[in-house]
A and B are shown apart, each in its own frame.
Chain A
Amino acid sequence: MNCQEMNPLLHAYVDGELDLMRSLEIERHLKTCAGCMAVKRSLDSLHSTLRHNDLSYSAPASLRRHLLAEVGKGSSRTQPRNSTRWFWQWLAIGAIGFAALTLIFRPTGISERDRLAEEAVSSHVRSLMVGHLTDVASSDQHTIKPWFNGKIDFAPNVKDFVAQGFPLVGGRLDYLNGQTLAALVYKRNQHTINVFVWPAKTPKSETAESLRGYNIINRDVDGLHYCIVSDLNAKELTEFADLLGN
């Protein structure tokens, strides 16, 4: 492969979009070609410059307020007044039917793992929605770690990874998997990462999956289970999981 053909692939390489075979091919070429290596370095440099300057804009609070108000109006208008009673009656019948079906199908329907992933994603979304991301907002691990003392009966490993681009922003108590647990909150640019921590009960294998556009990684480290949830891409979230594991 010559350097002309290499150029577009270099972008895909630094963006982590190539498969393993192609990546290895590029790496072999980079070892022998100073020109392409310089292009690759300049792309890395541009990437980190853009990343470290945090050029993203956040939605203003007024937008959030307006939307919730509009949507609230909209959904109550969609139910005509005279059919309200029928609506509730059918809803009750539906709910009973649904509950019955759930009881019948639950044992085989949803696996423990799927249920946990579903719960973790819902909790992640909730934490972003209700303005309750953190109970203790701090980037200082020595503030956050003692904060959990007396609230839970285990000590999560709290580390800041700001040097690696994953700053710690805080922690909170959350409830997941039938227990109260610690949630640590990290950022990656505009992405929020929730890390749910609880004592690992049985040795579990490490898993990575995605649900409704969110990535979920499960890891066991030193007797604690870490469930990591974010809309960050799988590659960078894995990097983050590897940091936690070290």
Chain B
Amino acid sequence: MSATDPQAQFEQVVMPHLDAAYNLARWLAGNDHDAEDIAQEACLRAFRFLGGFRGGNSRSWLLTIVRNTAYTWLKQNRPQAVVILGDEELSEIEDPTAPANHSNILHHADRDVLRAALEALPAEFREVLVLRELEGLSYKEIADVADAPIGTVMSRLARARKQLQEYLVGREK
């Protein structure tokens, strides 16, 4: 019965990952109110697409929908806030292989400072860090959610971490 009842299926496939869905929406939207709208729209979309879910990793599946919903929603409702950079522009921001001052191990960064630092990152960097460091997704899962090759995920992650470290180290001085 549970396999055919859409409501039961929703409770099995979508609801367990609601925190993860909201967390990603919150980090992409930047505030509680928009995040709730986005997460709700994404979950209802997931409900309509349940028939297309063929088992497997339900968390990645839902997060993919959240990410797509978030960018569409933000483009429509907060057009000034969305700056999507291409990988070429992103690559001009940072060269992760350039020598950096890595001797500074972070000791004192508190929660507010860390949140501000993450929020200051370009969306493409922020989302890979959130998916990796906060949600613990594998590279393969991040590549699926962000619809990018694994190599791109790796380079974004390396750049994002370097930029975050530099921001935090800059603040400690």
Contact = CB atoms under 8 A, between A and B. Distances in A.
B114 A75 contact: no
Interface stretch (A62-70, A139-147, A154-162): A62-70
A186 to B, nearest CB: 14
Nearest to A50: B133
Interface residues of B, number: 64
B134 A12 contact: no
A59 B96 contact: no
Interface secondary structure of B, over-half rule: helix
Nearest to A74: B47
Given A7-B158, A75-B6, A125 B12 contact: yes
B70 to A, nearest CB: 14
Contacts of A57: 22-23, 26-27, 32, 35
Task: Specify which of A39, A63, A125, A232 lies most central, judged by the most chain B CB atoms within 10 Å of its CB.
Answer: A63
Contacts of A63: 18, 22, 36, 39-40
Interface stretch (A24-32, A41-49, A199-207, A217-225): A41-49
B114 A55 contact: yes
A71 B18 contact: no
B134 A55 contact: yes
A38 B102 contact: yes
A20 interface: no
Contacts of B32: 57, 60
Interface string A12-26: 100101000000000
Interface of B: 1, 5-7, 10-12, 14-23, 26-27, 32, 35-36, 39-40, 43-44, 47, 55-60, 96-97, 99, 102-106, 109-111, 114-115, 118, 129, 132-139, 154-155, 157-158, 161, 164-165, 168
Interface of A: 4, 7-8, 11-12, 15, 17, 35, 38-39, 41-43, 45-47, 49-51, 53-60, 62-64, 66-68, 70-72, 74-75, 78, 95, 125, 128-129, 188-191, 212-213, 231-233, 236
User: Which 3 interchain pairs have the tightest Cβ spacing?
Assistant: A59-B22, A57-B26, A42-B102
